[in-house]
Amino acid sequence: MSSSKMKNADEIAITVEFSGGLEMLFSNERKHSLSIPANDQGGSRSNIASLVRYLCQNTMKDPRKDLFVLDGTVRPGILVLINDADWELEGEDKYEIKSGDNILFVSTLHGG
Amino acid sequence: MPPAPCALCKTNRALILRPKDHSKLCKSCFISVFETEIHHTITTNTLFYRGERIAIGASGGKDSTVLASVLKTLNERYDYGVELILLSIDEGIKGYRDDSLETVKRNAKQYDMPLTILGYDELYGWTMDQVVEQVGKKGNCTYCGVFRRQALDRGAARLGVRHVVTGHNADDVAETVLMNLLRGDLPRLSRTTSIVTSTPSAVSSDPNSHTNIKRSKPLKYAYEKEIVLYAHHKNLDYFSTECIYSPEAFRGSARALIKNLERVRPSAILDVVRSGEDMAKLVPGSDVSCERTCSSATPAAEEEGGCGSSNGRTAGGEMANMELQLAQNDVAAEAGLEVEITSSHITSSQLEEHTVKAVQAANGKNGRKKKGLAITPRKNPKQVMGQCKRCGYLSSQEICKACVLLEGLNKNRPKNSIEVDYEVQEKENGVVQCVTNGLTRVHITGD
């Protein structure tokens, strides 16, 4: 909580979107403009893995974390697009986040 | 990682990694390849014929929305000469179906297709909200599945359409293959893997009958992942929701297994589909096995278009449906109503052995069905598959499943009657028990 309140140069501004039903876990908001720490606790550049941890701790109010994260990574069946590209083309959760990035999480698990 | 170029056009930046072959494609090449593959599925399986009127089972969800979009595109591009219409089923679940039906209405405008919405209340006199109020949340998926199966057929018949396409994708089929494998139900596995099924027209010479509707799955070989990506990159308007009566249903074990497999080895999904097809060939009377006990009485959750959450995501509901189906097989067998298949080169003893094993393996019970199967004569299925005496729907039993469920509802059965086994028992015992149960609450809720 504290990190999101501090505004300093060590933060990067990004857009995170949720769709395909995932928005239900994030206050029914599809689009979130966030400032996340540029570095994670270990001091290395923030990547998708640390973003996911950040989202669980700060953004997600729904207690059902396991619908988003499973075994320490994004739940299988949820697609991650980094600036519209499949995260598998970008190094998956090792992708280092840059300012202005758009990270989209799309669930394929929900029905119609 | 440096951005990779598209494997096809070599110029644009690749945005998509295809699960089936790991090829990296740009947005426009992906869209084109995805559409071409559906076209290939349609033509190699001769799903459509010129002049055919086709109803798309539309829920407003990703699968049926992509199906409608792609079919419209292909129909124009390749001049199929088919007439496409949208058919939606409104189960009558407030806060669930309302929003998705709004999406379907928008889709009808976007794709310039006529839309028909048919409600459970209109068809059966009950909305699912009312059903749940009566039977409780546990087991209501059975009602929903049975009703929906008939609803699409009835809707199609009402529109004078003989063909309903649904948005079932490769993940759905793979999941159903696994579930049937785990249940030891190879006949059902066989039927669910086929790309075209039809409710047999055994007894129907009436062209307006709802017992002769062809069903097909043009997206059968399309990955769910690619369907979602197609919808995303084409900015399609779809609605995602989870049925309020089966929340968190997508944690279903078969579905989780499929998604975990995909993460490790993406080709696994199509491999399971192909394995299912190959196994189906080994099942006696594979392509016509639909003419066994299943066609009308089956909840057939895997064949439901429209409802994503019963589309394999409803672990509880789907497994309950399977339980019900197995129990029904038992009932049919014991009553000597097991419907023979039409395959001519399989002896009935082989079939018996197979069926008994399948049912036993799944049930873990022995000996119960020998009697019925042993006396099943080989005969023309026309003599065995009959029509429901109430509604005329094709059924291997006198009264079809939907009418049995309706009878129970209309007689205000108490809540404990929804246990699957009990329900089937009750069905066997017939009206008397329903009436008795009904007496206890008959004055509380009128219909």
CATH of residue A26's domain is 3.10.20.30
Residue B145, amino acid: G
Domains identified in chain B, total number: 1
Domain presence at residue B333: no
Domain presence at residue A112: no
B64 touches chain A (CB under 8 A): yes
B13 touches chain A (CB under 8 A): yes
User: Stretch A81-100: mean pLDDT, rounded?
Assistant: 95
Chain B residues touching residue A81 (CB < 8 angstroms): 15, 232
Residue B386, amino acid: G
Mean pLDDT taken over chain A: 89
Domain presence at residue B296: yes
Mean pLDDT lowest among B76-90, B245-259, B309-323, B407-421: B309-323
Domain presence at residue B401: no
A27 touches chain B (CB under 8 A): no
Residue B36, amino acid: T
Chain B residues touching residue A20 (CB < 8 angstroms): 62, 228, 240
Interface of A with B in 43-72 (CB under 8 A): 64, 67
Residue B304's nearest CA partner among B94, B144, B113, B80 is B144
Interface of A with B in 74-103 (CB under 8 A): 75-77, 79, 81, 84-86, 88-91, 95
Helix extents (H) in A1-112? 2-5, 48-54
Per-residue model confidence (pLDDT) at position B186: 84
Mean pLDDT lowest among B154-168, B237-251, B396-410: B237-251
Domain presence at residue B366: no
Domain presence at residue A69: yes
Distance, in Å, from the CA atom of A111 to the CA atom of B187, rounded to the nearest integer, reads: 27
Given an 8 Å threshold on Cβ–Cβ distance, is A112 in contact with B307?
yes
Per-residue model confidence (pLDDT) at position B252: 66
Chain B residues touching residue A48 (CB < 8 angstroms): none
Chain B residues touching residue A85 (CB < 8 angstroms): 3, 13-16
Q: What range defines the domain where residue B200 resides?
A: 27-316
User: Stretch B149-178: mean pLDDT, rounded?
Assistant: 91
Domain presence at residue A74: yes
Chain A residues touching residue B24 (CB < 8 angstroms): 89
Chain centroid to CA B345? 29
Residue A83's nearest CA partner among A102, A69, A68 is A102
Identify any residues that bridge with B13 across adjacent strands, giving them in sequence order.
B5
Mean pLDDT lowest among A66-75, B190-199, B207-216, B434-443: B434-443
Residue pLDDT, tens place only, B55-84:
999 999 999 999 999 999 999 999 999 999
Given an 8 Å threshold on Cβ–Cβ distance, is A110 in contact with B250?
yes
Domain presence at residue B238: yes
Domains identified in chain A, total number: 1
Domain presence at residue B379: no
Q: What range defines the domain where residue A15 resides?
A: 2-107
CB-based contacts of B204, cutoff 8 Å, min separation 6: B211, B212, B387, B394
CATH of residue B236's domain is 3.40.50.620
Interface of B with A in 336-375 (CB under 8 A): none
Domain presence at residue B329: no
Return the residue of B nearest to A77 by Cα.
B259
Residue pLDDT, tens place only, B83-141:
999 999 999 988 888 888 999 999 999 999 999 999 999 989 999 999 988 888 777 88
